[in-house]
Each structure stands twice: as C-alpha cells, then as structure tokens.
Structure 1
Amino acid sequence: MAFNTGLSGLRAAQVDLDVTGNNIANASTVGFKSSRAQFGDLYANGFLSSGSNPVGDGVTVQDIQQQFGQGNISFTDNGLDMAIDGDGFFVLSDGGETRYSRAGEFGIDKDGFVVNNQNMKVQGYQADADGNISGVRGDMQIQTDNLAPRRTTNLLTDVNLDSRESVLEQRIRSWDDLTVDQFADGESITFDVNGQLNEVTFDSTDSVDDIVNKLQSVSGVNASASTSFAVGDMAGADFGSFELYVGDETSPRAIDLDGVSDVDELAAKIRQQSDNSISADVTDGGELVITHNSGESLNVQYDDTGGTPVFDETEQGVVSITTDRSVTDMESSVTAIEDAYVGGDVEPVNAFNPEDQRTYNHATSTTIYDSLGNSHELTQFFVKEPSPGNGVGESQWSVYMEIDGELVGGTDEDPYTATFSESGELKSIRDQNGDVSSLGEIVIDDWVPKDPNGDPNGAEGPPALGPGEEVPSPIPEDGEYGSAFVVDLSDSTQYGAAFGVNDQQQNGYTTGRLSGLDVSDEGVIFARYTNGQSNELGQVALATFQNTDGLSPVGDTAWVETFESGQPVIGKPGTGTLGSIAASSVEESNVDLSEELVNLIIAQRNYQANAKTIETSDAVTQTIINLR
C-alpha cells in the first residue's frame, strides 16, 4: 500500500511541476491566465464504515483551476491593440466556431476584417454610413476606401457684434443729376432724411451758385455743379486751319492754336488760356472734353475754314447732390423731372462694398464645401444701421453673405436685417421679402458653386423649389436641396465688447484618405482621415459568463463555452458587468514569476519526498523477502 501512496504522491507532484512549468513558460504570453493544481487526499471507505483508524490511500489531483485575475496593462504602438480593464472576453470567430480570449493583439487582414494573430475574426457591432452603431453583431470590418465628401448644409456662427460701433457714413446720391435750366418759380425738391422732410424751393432767376447753396442748406446734404462738353474725336484734325472759342455764354475766349499739332497739345492750350474754372482733358479714345468746374453755362465755338461747318454750342450746368445721411425718399414738383425722380430708387455712393473695409463694421470668414468636396470661402459682413427706436430698446445690423467674392442670398440687392434686444440678444432676422425668423436663421438657396475661373464646377446648384415650397432647417443631406444651406446666427449677441467669433462650425468636408484608427474606452473604433474627419466604424463586443472557471482552454490563449460555464452574456464594453477597453494596450500574463519559482521548489521537494517513501517501502519489502 505504501508503494501506491508514494506513486500517487509522485503523480501529484509531477502534475504540480507541469502546471508550474506551464505558468512559467507563459509568463510573457499576452492574455494568459495562470493555473493552479488542486489536490485531495484518498481514503478507502466501505459501505458501512471506513474503520476506526483509517489510513489514507494517497493523493489525487482534483482540478487544474485557472486564475482569471486581472493582468497588468501595457501600452503598444498598434492602434488596434486592446486590453480589457475588468470582466469580459473578446468574442472571436474561428471559421464559424466561437472562441473567447483576453488577448487583444489585433490587426487587419487583406479583406479589412479585424483579426487576431490566428486570423480569428473579432466580433462586434457595425456602424452605418452616418456612424450610427447598430445592435446587430457580426465580423468587424474596416472600410479602407476614401471618405466621400459631404456638402455643407448647416453653418453655426456665434459672434459678438460690438454695440459701441457707430453707424457708418452713408452718402446717398439722387437718381440722376439735375440740369439747372429745368427750374421755374416755385418749383421745389423735398428730401426725406431719416423721417425729416426738407423742402428746397427755386426761382427762375436762381444762378447755379444759388441752386447749390439752397441744396446745401439742408442738413447733411452736399451739392456741386459742373458743365461738361464733349467736342468729339479730333485725331486727324488740321489744327492750323480752324478757330476755337471757349468760355461763358456771352463772351467765349479765342484759343491761340499756334504750335498745336495734336489733341493733347490742344487741351493744354485750353487750360493755359482759360481761367481756373475751365479745364480740358482727352479721353483714352482721343475725345476732347471741356469742363466748367463751377457749373456755369459753357459756350464752345468751332470754325473750320477748311470746309467744316461752323459749330456753336452752349451747355447748361449740371448739379450733383450727395448726403451723409440716409435719404429714404425724394420728391420733385418740377414737371420736367417728375417722371425721372418721383418713385425712383436712390443710389448709394458708398454703399456696402466687400472690397472696401470702410463700408462694413465687422466680417468673418469660414470654409464651406460643395457636393464634390471643393472648398469655398464664405464671408459674413455686418453693417450697423440706425436704430429703429432712436437708440432705445432695439439695435439693427445688416448682414451680407459672400462666397468666393460673389454676394449670395439675395444680398447683392438687399441685405438681411438682424434685430437685437436691449439686453444684447438676437431677437429676429428679417429677409428681403420682409419675412421674419425668430430662430435667427438665414437660408442661402441661390448659390452656384464655381471654379477659380468663375465657371460652374459641376457640383449641385440651387434647388428647384415648387410653389410654396421652402428649404427646411436643418437641411437633410440627401442632395434634395442642392447647394442650399442654413446660416444659424441664433447664438449671436450685441454687447459692449470687442467683436469676436465665439464659435463657427459647419458640417461639410472634402474627400479624405484613411490615415489611422483610434479606439475609445467603450471599444468604438474610429477611422481618422486626411481631411481631419473621424468616423465611427463599429464597436467591439465583450462576453461574460456565470462561471468563468467552467470555460475550457483550447490553446492560442482562447477558451470555449462549456456546460459548466453557462451561456455567454454578450454586450458593449462598459455596460453591465463588462469592463472597459484600453486602446493601444494589451493585458499581460497574470503569472507571478516569484511565486511560481517558489512553487517550483515546493513541487520538487514534494516529488523527492514521495520518491523517498517508495524507496523506504522497497527496503522494507526486501527485508521481508530475505527472511529465512
């Protein structure tokens, strides 16, 4: 019996050595879990009793139990390496067979599937084209195709407009210049300047100076007069065979043409021999233009003795009117000019000009994209306007939009009007039709994307809207509304602080190539592209079991489900009892080498001791055999 007892001890010690050696051998195996041999003693028992003084029959190996304690997490240079911090196993598909592992050394195969070193496919939840992760589990696959461009449909602009800014000087000119010979006694012109009516009455005896002075008597109105006469193209004229007289209507002065050989010399002679009020210039086309700078009547006589008829012409002065205030209306009682002025549109002299910084208070630019992924520069201009309440209660700003140097949104004809409350918050935006949006949105639906040469570049253009149809907000990204997009100014303010852009975001981008992969704590795999975008590709799945010790190891640091383990509970990392994911990391083996080396010494000693038991039993048996 001692032989059997010693043999059982030798077998147990050998198993202990094997388990300890296996642990030591896998001390550097990623995701490896150490094992421990568990022993139990043996007794011979009868049906009724085991005796009053039973002697044991040795030892047996009851179980080789794996220790699923957490291993250390170390960082790597592979973006797809993952370590589980907490409970759970990666779910792997090996040709249809499901396996579970803690080893997260993953890569991509030739078909884009996420696999481990044994080409087992990692299981997870795929994402759709918009990055929405579904609940359907399958093989994780990375799309390596270029990221298709996305047109801009919504632009958020959060700016602060400086309330301390003053209204810019806005000089407005009348529809046409006024000729001084059209006025009779009692005729008048009425200016409506910011709601203030100013009437100017004329007499038939008014000189040009009288007319100018009367107009300038209106606050903010400036007037000037000049008289121009185009003699015509004189290139090829014989300057030695004619006479020229220039001056006022009653006494024009003869111009000495001695030495004149071309039209430029003729213009110089006129300037030299006339008073300071008369000038002469030559246009690029060679035409001689004589001007009376004070607006008096100008008489020009031209006598060509070489056969050209005598030319005698008198021109009347023309008055130009400008004002540094906004002229909202202009009426005239002058019958001759009634049709030309009443009801017409005033012409801004220094109207908004994107190329002239003096015509707007603030501006900000951002990049937007068309349906082909071409970038375009959108600039928003803000011009402070006179307050509708004389500075009390509300403030108004005009908003202009320009893309690649071309005004859009109808702002080439009329801007949008943004109204701010007394607390500096945006109340509404009014469009050119008078429609008011309390949401602070501007819809741009007339933009034609163009190339650097100014020609349409083939991208989607303005939407074809039916009767009563409007562009919705937010705009869907299915291409139904062409190049239309919404500018959201709802967060903009008007405080007594410097102009600043607090936030500006748009949802478009150009095409991009895959440049890298990232993994979040929830196991979501993100693709990084060269255009600065990132896209969710999927999320890895983790599994947990009621009895982890019941899993059966099958090699390659993997386990399979057994009856004892129970069925797996599969979910997303960080949910339920499942642990989180550490990206660019792996879980090291949980083998403690110091402990295993001590166990190795103990197993060796146990083996030697059991061998000694067998040796002693052999000696005793030999003694009995030698009895005579």
Structure 2
Amino acid sequence: MAFNIGLSGLRASQVDLDVTGNNIANASTVGFKGSKAQFGDLYSSGFLSSGKMSVGSGVKVQDIKQSFAQGSISGTQNGLDMAIDGDGFFVLSNNGQVQYSRAGQFSIDKDGFVVNSQSMKVQGYQADGDGNLSGVRGDLQIDTDNLAPRRTTRFDSEVNLDSRESVLEVIRQSYEVNALDPSDATNPAEEDTLTFTYDDNRTSELTFNGDQQAREIAEQLNELPGVTASARTTYDIDPALIQPDTNFRIQGTDFSIPGAPDVADAGEALSWLQDAINASPLNTINATNQGGQLRLIDSRGNDLDISRVDDDGNLDQDGSGAAILDESVRGQVNELVLDRTVTVSSANGTDGLLATADPSVTRTNTFNPEDQRTYNHATSSTIYDSLGNPHTMTQYFVKEPVTGGESVWAMYIQIDGEDVGDPPFTTGEPTRARYELEFNSDGSIASVDGDPDGQVLISNWTPKDQSGQPNGSDGPLPIANGGQLPIADPPVSSNFAINMNETTQYGSSFGVVDQRQNGYTTGRLSGLDVSGEGVIFARYSNGQSQNLGQVSLATFANADGLSPVGDTNWVETFESGQPIFGAPSTGTLGSISASSVEESNVDLSQELVNLIIAQRNYQANAKTIETSDAVTQTIINLR
C-alpha cells in the first residue's frame, strides 16, 4: 500500500516539476500564461466502508490550471506590435481555423494582411475608402497603395473681424494733363517741371521737355510712390481717304487695301483696314469704327505716324502735289492720379503739363485686390482640384458702411489671383465673387449673402496650370446649369462650399481662428499608428491620415476552459463557452497598447522556489518507497 502511495507521489511531483520547468522555459515568451499543477488525494474506501479508519491511497493530478493574469507591458520598435491591457484575446485565422492569442507580435505579409509570426491572419473590422469602420469581421488587410487625391468640396473658415475698424476710404486726386508739344499754338510750352510733395515733407522733382513722348512721361511719373499716370494717342482717319485699292503706312507697316471684287466700296475698305490693323504686329494700336470714322488708339502713348502711300511706297499726292495724308500725332498723358499723401505743383502753372490748378477729388472704398488700401484684411489657404493639384484661395475682407443698423463686411474670393464669381448666364467670364457677411449685435454672424446657415457656393472656378491654361481637372458647374448646395457625392465639378457660420465680429484684433478643408494631394504610405481602441491609422506623405481597420478581440465566459495548442495560442472548447467578439475598450474588453507586447506573466523567482519544493516532495516520496521496500524485505527475510 505504502509503495503505491509513494509511486503516486512521485508521479505527481514529476508533473509538478514538468509544469514548473515549462513555466521557467517560457519566462520570456511573449503572451505566455503560466500554469500550476493542482493535486487531489485518493481514498480506496467504498460507499459502505467506515470513513473513520480510511487510509489514503496517494495523490493524483486533478488539473493543470493556467493563470490568465495580466503580464507586464513593454515597448518595442514595431508600430504593429500590440498588447492587450485588460481582458480579451486576439483573434487569428489559421487557414480557416480560429485561434486566440495574447501574443501581439504582428507584421504585414506580401499581400498586405496583418499576420503573426506563424502567418496566421489577424481578424478585425475593415474600413472603407472614407475611413469608416464596418461591423463585419474578417482578415485585416492594410492597403499600401498611394492615397488617391481628393478635391476640395468644403472649406470651413473661422475668423474674427475687428468691429473697431473703420470703413476704408481711398482719396483719388485726378489732374487733366496738357501735351508738351512745341508745334501746338495753344500750349507752346516746351518744358515743364513738376514738384511732388509728400506728407512727410519729402519732395521729388521731374523735368519734362517737348522731345519726350507721352509714353516716356507716363513711365517717369509711375516710378514715383503714390503717383499713377497713363498715356494715350488717338487719331481719326478721314473716311473719305479710305477707299478700295489704296495703301496706308502706319508706324512703318504698310497696309494695302485690295480693290474690286474683294473690296467693293468705301465701307468695305474701312472694315478691311480695321481688321488688318488689329491683326497686325502693332499690338499697342487698336482700330475701332467710331460712327463711320476709323479711330486709331495707341494705348501706350507713343507718337503715331500715319500716311497714305502709292503702290511704289511714296507719299500719295493730290493734283497740286501735296501729300494726301502724312501725319505725326503727338500722344498725351491723359490722366495723372495722386493718392491723398501727395500734392503736385507745376513750374509753368496751367500753361505747363497741368491743365488745371486744382484736382478733382473722389472718395471710394472700391475693392481692388492689387491695392492693399482697398481691403482691411486678407488670408490665403490651399485647396485642391480633382487631380490633387494645389491652388491658392484668398479671402479679402472689406468693412462696409453701417446701413439700417446692420453691421456688414464684404468677403471677396479669388483663386490663384483670378475671379471665380458665377456669371449671370450659362457661359461667360467669371465675375467678381463678393459675399456679404451680416452680423448680429452680439458679434455672431447672422447670415452670409442672406443664407442663415453661413454657406456660399463657389461655382465658377476653372483650375489652371502655371501657364494659365485649364489643367484637365473637373471644371465648374454654374448655378444656371444646376450647380447648388449641398455638393453632390461623388462630386463632378470644381464647385465647393465655404462655411463661415463660426465667423465673429468682436472688438479684438483680426485673427484666423481655424481654417479647414477636406481636399488633399496624392500621398505615399509613410507609417502606421494604432490607437487604444485598436484602430490602425495610416500616415501619408501628404500629411493625411486615414483609418484602415480595427483589431477585433474576443472574450470567454470561462477562459480557463480554453485549450492550449502551442505557439502561445488557444482554441475554443465546450468548457470555455462561445467567444464574444468586439472592439477594444468596449464592454469588458481591454484596450490596446501600441508598439508594445505583453510579457509572460511567469514570476521567475516564485518558480525557482516552486522548483525547490517540487524537488523536496519528489525526494520525500522516494523515501516512502525506499522505506516500504525495506520493511517488505525484512518480512521476506523472516524464516
């Protein structure tokens, strides 16, 4: 009896040693859960035998129980390594067989699937093209392709407009200008000096003479700050001189009007000459029909030479031998405009360049994107067309006079420096895009162009390349052709909405609080991040990020009932119950620690102590067998 009891003890101690040794061997195995042998005593007494005098029959191993206590979490350098902080198991598919693990050492295989070191596919919830997670569980796959570009369809702009600012007012001082022409009997001045005085008492003097063309005078004037000048040369050709089969020489270029049947009469001759001049290399000269007269206009103010010549190129003469037409027309500075900080005086008074001593003064706050004095503030942002090309959208803000108690700002929009306003018809050049921002008395926005939702539609933007030509991306859909809010999904045009409903007008400095738009250019995958909810984020070279999927976890009513199958994996059994699947950090499931793994929960020091105890138990049971053998031998030796 004692011999069998000792043998059962040896067997139990051996199992204890095996379990302890297995724990020690896996002390550094990621996701490993330590086990402990559980023992029970044995009795050979029957149902009707006396329990008082029963002697035990030894020991048996009742169970090898695993401890699913949390292991330590340590960081790694792999972005796809994951550790579960709390309850739950990773769900793995091994060619259709589902296994469960706490070891989160994952990577991506050649097909983009997230797998463990045994090439088992991690299960999770895949995201669609917009990053929305589905509720359907399957193999988690990472799309490593480039991120396709996305056009801008919504632009949210939140700014504060300073209510203390005044309405801008531009003062324009305009002078009529004489021509310095020695041959002009009404204005014989051959030279004049203009003195410009600035509000800081600086002065600038420019001297002009009759040998200078109007173009040269205007160019000198435009070099001064606060001074704008334009020059022009105009000449009307006597229509009686324009006949079929006649020749004209303008600025050294000959124009030969054909005769019949190509040009039948004087009217056709005038039209022919007009078209020929406008199509010629004389790009500064424009010809127009002014009530039956052909008017030549040089927009630069160059002196204009014009004559009628014969077929040999000589001046065409009348019966008395005089030239029919041989004119040299003097150009004139037709307008001199000064801003409010400048005054001007002429050395010759009104006999010189200045036709009047006092300028005509106009006050205006007309918006001009090229003149910073005509708008209070401007801010620029990048938007994208359907091909992912970036473009610069600029918002200009102009404070308007208060009318009817309403506080109004005008917002102007330009893209790449061009107007994008909707034309009044289905086709036409873009108009200036202007929208009125009306504010309540508390500084909040009341409406934008009458829309209480604070949205405006940009519906006439044609994306262009650097040369100013359409770049092949989707073009505009004007309102007259069906353009409207909200933008269709998927979008089919360059239209987009600007949302201004968070804009304010407070008594503080102008500031851009926030500006967001939903477009971007194409991007390459540059990295992966995992959130605490197990969501895998892809980071792209264009600064965008997108959900690619979410890891699924499983929990069991009785995790102790799971059956280990090696590789730190378990499978479902009848005792474990069916798995309950869900996303991390939901229900009783734990959260995910990214770039981390869960270490083995084996306490190596405790296992070494257990090893000593198991060794002692083994030796003690062996002593029982040895003693029983000695007693038996003594009985055998009795004679």
TM-score using structure 1 length: 0.73
Rounded Cα–Cα distance in structure 1 between residues aligned with 2:134 and 2:48 = 64
Rounded Cα–Cα distance in structure 2 between residues aligned with 1:314 and 1:114 = 83
Q: CA RMSD in A?
A: 3.4
Q: Is the 8 A contact 2:421 2:432 kept in 1?
A: no
What is the letter of the counterpart of residue 427 of structure 1? A
Aligned to 1:578: 589
Aligned to 2:447: 428
Rounded Cα–Cα distance in structure 2 between residues aligned with 1:507 and 1:269 = 55
Q: Is the 8 A contact 1:245 1:254 kept in 2?
A: no
Aligned residue for 1:156, secondary structure, equals strand
Q: Is the 8 A contact 1:429 1:438 kept in 2?
A: yes
What is the letter of the counterpart of residue 434 of structure 2? P
What is the letter of the counterpart of residue 529 of structure 1? Y
2:385 to 325, 349, 370: 370
Deviations 1:341-376 (A, max 9, x none): xxxxxx998842222211211000100000100000
The Cα shift of 1:412 comes to 4.2
Instruction: Tell me if 1:357 matches 2:357.
Output: no
Q: Is the 8 A contact 1:525 1:537 kept in 2?
A: yes
Aligned to 2:16: 16
Aligned to 1:527: 538
Q: Is the 8 A contact 1:246 1:254 kept in 2?
A: no
Rounded Cα–Cα distance in structure 2 between residues aligned with 1:80 and 1:483 = 38
Rounded Cα–Cα distance in structure 2 between residues aligned with 1:14 and 1:532 = 60
Aligned to 1:540: 551
The Cα shift of 1:509 comes to 0.5
What is the letter of the counterpart of residue 58 of structure 2? G
Instruction: Tell me if 1:388 matches 2:403.
Output: yes
Instruction: Tell me if 1:267 matches 2:211.
Output: yes
Q: Is the 8 A contact 2:584 2:591 kept in 1?
A: yes
Higher mean alpha-carbon deviation, 553-562 vs 41-50, is at 41-50
Instruction: Tell me if 1:478 matches 2:494.
Output: no
What is the letter of the counterpart of residue 361 of structure 1? N
What is the letter of the counterpart of residue 378 of structure 1? M
1:513 to 504, 512, 524: 524
Q: Is the 8 A contact 1:223 1:319 kept in 2?
A: no
Aligned to 1:338: none
CA 288–46 in structure 1, closer or farther in 2 if over 3 Å, else same = closer
Aligned to 2:158: 158
CA 245–39 in structure 1, closer or farther in 2 if over 3 Å, else same = closer
Aligned to 1:140: 140
What is the letter of the counterpart of residue 470 of structure 2? P
The Cα shift of 1:323 comes to 12
Deviations 1:259-286 (A, max 9, x none): xxxxx9962799xxxxxxxxx9999785
The Cα shift of 1:312 comes to 12
Aligned residue for 2:184, secondary structure, equals strand
Aligned residue for 1:415, secondary structure, equals strand
Rounded Cα–Cα distance in structure 2 between residues aligned with 1:404 and 1:31 = 57
Aligned to 1:287: 303
Instruction: Tell me if 1:442 matches 2:461.
Output: no
Aligned to 1:27: 27
What is the letter of the counterpart of residue 418 of structure 2? E
Aligned residue for 2:45, secondary structure, equals coil
Instruction: Tell me if 1:455 matches 2:495.
Output: no
The Cα shift of 1:223 comes to 6.4
What is the letter of the counterpart of residue 104 of structure 1? G
What is the letter of the counterpart of residue 525 of structure 2? L
What is the letter of the counterpart of residue 267 of structure 1? D
The Cα shift of 1:621 comes to 1.2
Q: Is the 8 A contact 1:544 1:578 kept in 2?
A: yes
After superposition, where does 1:54-65 map in structure 2 within 5 Å? 54-65=54-65
Rounded Cα–Cα distance in structure 2 between residues aligned with 1:527 and 1:567 = 33
Rounded Cα–Cα distance in structure 2 between residues aligned with 1:117 and 1:388 = 73
1:492 to 475, 492, 503: 503
1:415 to 414, 434, 439: 434
After superposition, where does 1:235-246 map in structure 2 within 5 Å? 245-246=183-184
Aligned to 1:92: 92
Rounded Cα–Cα distance in structure 1 between residues aligned with 2:212 and 2:91 = 96
The Cα shift of 1:423 comes to 2.3
What is the letter of the counterpart of residue 369 of structure 2? P
Q: Is the 8 A contact 1:80 1:105 kept in 2?
A: yes
Aligned to 1:207: none
Rounded Cα–Cα distance in structure 2 between residues aligned with 1:104 and 1:79 = 11
Taking every aligned residue pair, what percent have the same amino acid on both sides? Answer: 65
Deviations 1:116-155 (A, max 9, x none): 1111110111111111111111000000011101000010
What is the letter of the counterpart of residue 372 of structure 2? Q
Rounded Cα–Cα distance in structure 2 between residues aligned with 1:572 and 1:414 = 48
Aligned to 2:274: none
The Cα shift of 1:559 comes to 0.5
Aligned to 2:129: 129
TM-score using structure 2 length: 0.72
Rounded Cα–Cα distance in structure 2 between residues aligned with 1:499 and 1:353 = 20
Rounded Cα–Cα distance in structure 2 between residues aligned with 1:81 and 1:446 = 49
The Cα shift of 1:50 comes to 4.3
Rounded Cα–Cα distance in structure 2 between residues aligned with 1:265 and 1:375 = 51
CA 319–605 in structure 1, closer or farther in 2 if over 3 Å, else same = closer
Q: Is the 8 A contact 2:4 2:58 kept in 1?
A: yes
Deviations 1:155-183 (A, max 9, x none): 011111112222222458xxxxxxxxxxx
Q: Is the 8 A contact 1:153 1:476 kept in 2?
A: no
Rounded Cα–Cα distance in structure 2 between residues aligned with 1:65 and 1:525 = 35
After superposition, where does 1:38-187 map in structure 2 within 5 Å? 38-50=38-50, 52-170=52-170
Rounded Cα–Cα distance in structure 1 between residues aligned with 2:494 and 2:211 = 55
Rounded Cα–Cα distance in structure 2 between residues aligned with 1:266 and 1:140 = 85
What is the letter of the counterpart of residue 625 of structure 1? I
Aligned to 1:209: none
Instruction: Tell me if 1:248 matches 2:186.
Output: yes
What is the letter of the counterpart of residue 467 of structure 2? N
Aligned residue for 2:150, secondary structure, equals coil
1:502 to 513, 538, 551: 513
CA 312–7 in structure 1, closer or farther in 2 if over 3 Å, else same = closer
CA 319–584 in structure 1, closer or farther in 2 if over 3 Å, else same = closer
What is the letter of the counterpart of residue 371 of structure 1? S
Rounded Cα–Cα distance in structure 2 between residues aligned with 1:169 and 1:380 = 20
Instruction: Tell me if 1:595 matches 2:579.
Output: no
Rounded Cα–Cα distance in structure 2 between residues aligned with 1:323 and 1:387 = 28
CA 559–487 in structure 1, closer or farther in 2 if over 3 Å, else same = same
Aligned residue for 2:118, secondary structure, equals coil
Rounded Cα–Cα distance in structure 2 between residues aligned with 1:456 and 1:254 = 51
Q: Is the 8 A contact 1:394 1:419 kept in 2?
A: yes
